[in-house]
């Protein structure tokens, strides 16, 4: 095992140990062992000059921004010409050596390092202009925060979310329509978050696939040497094979066989000439570079018969159509179901029972209907909900038609809503599976959230239920007792407000000083101005608390709860109500996050952009002509140095 591999192993081990100890109240290694591994990692970081993301030797912290600034790429990022024909890929390579690598299915990001530190991260955008996501890139699982090379380094790579993490994230979302369709969509939204705490929760990985510049390094005209050098600097590089045209078919076969077991999403391969000068000498067309070529998998199609359309309700009332067809073998597995997603797609396919359809796996993973060969269009859209028998209605949002159950008392809505309410990140009530909740709701024991805390009224009935018994009931009662003592962020998340996740619930709670009454009274416009919230979430919160039934449920619930706020030394919150922006290099603090942590510990806020709400801009070069200094002067925001901050805000007398 080389030094870089050992550093990655140590970083993962120490991260897992810290999480277990501080967040889960358990120990997976002794303090002595932790210290020994920590010292080994620290020593390796000094030897290599590389600090990996997640290293316990450096604290990154989270950043929040009001918006993602846009920036023009120094070198335009062109799309690649594509083929599904292996023969064309062979012809492209010819007698030349090419690097054949995965074409990952995520979001392309450009990283810039100066003086060995990650200075900037920008998304591909439209190829000419991308969005600056530096704070988010710093919390990717595997991006080096520091590398040994001190000259400027610019590289490109793909940010991806692994299938295993994608499935875990979706598993925490009870309602089907709120789940993410594929890892790429989840990754795109995660990378472009305004609050990097949310990005960190999503486990985004970065795989380098191209080096734009590395000052002072001679790669001897070799792409492979660039890849190997990037590995030496701590980057994970996309897996590749070096081949000639005669070896392309075999390599493609080996890649295709690996797709089924890969944990990362890919939608093909990329071929680029190993000889850098030769590739560059070919120039480019109006749309594509001539030194590289993309290969897309030839989708494996199977013909089958549509048996039925299953309509699947969710807690928001959305009823999703799912196609059930005669089982077929696709990419090595048997499939018999595929989501049709919405009524618009159902209509466009003109689906009918008994129709002959072709199906495939998108990116060799997700079953989809490719074409309807019969197009009888005889599928009837149900006028009643398959669960409650209440009326349904087709609603059009952004030109997409979807079917909804309009019965507010629909049991499916309640079951899914209660499943979220009792989940681990919400009220954390053990002993209430979806099946148990379905029984309790069906028997009339539970009609709203507050009713869960009065199940003692039905003690005898519950104890006599199949699969329950005295012991299960006592465990449930104890769990409900513990759940009464809860923080506001958990309550906010448990309500199931659309678009509100765990991290956003914490942001909203902090913004309104853990006062739910203030949050309930907030307008969408006011909410959208909170860093990391935005218009969509703001509108969701306003709409939720505009509903009288929601408010009645919340009022009844609050009577059952003992809300508490994690203890904070109020006497030390001398920066309460003040907002800071930090820019430039620091002297007294190891990095910006160390200063940010101090400000937040004293009750202040740190944001990424200067606005009219900014109290102070901290910049040791107070007279510089930087964009943030200019903005601060335009808005009348005071610019102070690091020493000014220390003099004013670290004294006992406070502000």
For residue 315, the 8-state DSSP code is T
Residue in 103, 414, 506, 596 annotated catalytic: 103
Question: Among candidates 153, 89, 82, 141, which has minimal Cα distance to 115?
Answer: 153
Cα distance between residue 47 and residue 51, in whole Å = 11
Cα distance between residue 418 and residue 455, in whole Å = 14
Ramachandran bin of 428, using left for φ above 0, alpha for ψ from -120 to 50, beta for the remaining angles: left
Question: Among candidates 345, 395, 405, which has minimal Cα distance to 371?
Answer: 345
Cα distance between residue 154 and residue 233, in whole Å = 13
Cβ-proximal residues to 469 (8 Å cutoff; 6+ apart), any chain: 463
Question: Among candidates 284, 291, 365, which has minimal Cα distance to 332?
Answer: 365
Cα distance between residue 450 and residue 554, in whole Å = 8
Cβ-proximal residues to 69 (8 Å cutoff; 6+ apart), any chain: 131, 132, 609
DSSP assignment of 204-223 = EEEEEEEEEEETT---TTBH
* Structure token pair of residue 119: 């200075």
Furthest-apart CA atoms within the chain: distance in Å: 83
Residue 103 among the catalytic residues: yes
Extract the runs of DSSP E, i.e. beta strands, from 142-251.
153-161, 204-214, 240-243
Cα distance between residue 38 and residue 26, in whole Å = 19
Length of the chain counted residue by residue = 655
Name the pairing type of β-strands 117-123 and 129-131: unpaired
Query: Which residues form the catalytic set?
Result: 103
């Amino acid at each position: 095992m080389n030094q870089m591999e050992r550093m990655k192993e140590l970083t993962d081990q120490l991260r897992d140990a810290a999480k277990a100890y501080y967040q889960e109240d358990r120990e997976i290694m002794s303090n002595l062992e932790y210290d020994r591994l920590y010292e080994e990692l620290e020593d390796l970081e000094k030897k290599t000059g590389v600090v990996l993301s997640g290293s316990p030797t450096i604290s990154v912290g989270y950043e929040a921004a009001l918006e993602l600034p846009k920036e023009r790429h120094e070198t335009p990022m062109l799309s690649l010409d594509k083929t599904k024909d292996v023969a064309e890929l062979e012809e492209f390579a010819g007698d030349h050596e090419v690097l054949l690598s995965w074409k990952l299915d995520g979001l392309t990001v450009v990283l810039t390092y100066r003086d060995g530190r990650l200075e900037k991260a920008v998304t591909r955008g439209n190829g000419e202009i991308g969005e600056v996501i530096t704070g988010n890139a710093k919390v990717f699982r595997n991006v080096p925060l520091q590398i040994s090379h001190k000259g400027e380094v610019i590289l490109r790579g793909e940010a991806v979310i692994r299938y295993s993490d994608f499935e875990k994230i979706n598993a925490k979302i009870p309602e089907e329509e709120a789940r993410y369709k594929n890892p790429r969509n989840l990754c795109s939204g995660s990378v472009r978050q305004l609050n990097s705490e949310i990005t960190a929760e999503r486990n985004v990985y970065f795989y380098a696939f191209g080096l734009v510049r590395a000052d002072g390094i001679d790669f001897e005209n070799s792409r492979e040497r660039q890849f190997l050098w990037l590995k030496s600097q701590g980057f994970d590089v996309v897996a590749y094979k070096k081949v000639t045209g005669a070896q392309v078919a075999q390599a493609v076969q080996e890649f295709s066989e690996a797709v089924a077991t890969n944990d990362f999403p890919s939608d093909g391969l990329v071929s680029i000439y190993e000889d850098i000068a030769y590739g560059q000498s070919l120039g480019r067309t109006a749309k594509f570079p001539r030194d590289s070529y993309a290969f897309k998998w030839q989708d494996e199609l199977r013909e089958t018969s549509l048996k039925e359309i299953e309509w699947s309700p969710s807690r928001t009332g959305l009823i999703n159509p799912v196609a059930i067809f005669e089982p077929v073998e696709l990419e090595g597995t048997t499939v018999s179901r595929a989501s049709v997603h919405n009524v618009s797609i159902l209509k466009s396919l003109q689906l009918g029972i008994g129709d002959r359809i072709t199906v495939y796996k998108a990116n060799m993973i997700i079953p989809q209907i490719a074409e309807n060969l019969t197009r009888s269009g005889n599928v009837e859209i149900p006028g009643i909900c398959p669960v409650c028998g209440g009326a349904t209605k087709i609603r059009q949002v952004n030109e997409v038609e979807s079917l909804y159950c309009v019965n507010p008392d629909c049991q499916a809505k309640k079951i899914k809503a209660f499943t979220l309410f009792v989940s681990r990140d919400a009220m954390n009530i053990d002993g209430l599976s979806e099946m148990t909740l379905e029984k309790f709701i069906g028997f009339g024991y539970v009609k709203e959230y507050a009713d869960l805390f009065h199940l003692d009224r039905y003690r005898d009935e519950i104890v006599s239920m199949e699969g329950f018994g005295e012991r299960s009931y006592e465990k449930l009662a104890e769990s409900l007792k513990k759940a009464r003592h809860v923080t506001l962020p958990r309550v906010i998340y448990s309500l199931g407000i659309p678009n509100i996740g765990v991290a956003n619930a914490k942001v909203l709670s902090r913004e309104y000083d853990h006062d739910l009454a203030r949050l309930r009274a907030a307008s969408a416009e006011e909410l959208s101005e909170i860093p990391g919230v935005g218009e969509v979430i703001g509108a969701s919160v306003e709409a939720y608390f505009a509903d009288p039934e929601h408010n009645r449920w919340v009022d009844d619930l609050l009577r059952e709860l003992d809300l508490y706020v994690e203890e904070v030394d109020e006497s030390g919150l001398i920066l309460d109500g003040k907002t800071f922006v930090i820019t430039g290099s620091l002297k007294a603090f190891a990095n910006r996050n160390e200063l940010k942590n101090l400000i937040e510990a004293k009750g202040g806020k740190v944001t990424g952009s200067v606005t009219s709400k900014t109290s102070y801009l901290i910049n040791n070069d107070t007279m510089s002509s930087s964009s943030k200094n200019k903005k601060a002067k335009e808005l009348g925001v005071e610019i102070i140095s690091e020493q000014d901050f220390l003099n004013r805000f670290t004294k006992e007398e406070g502000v």
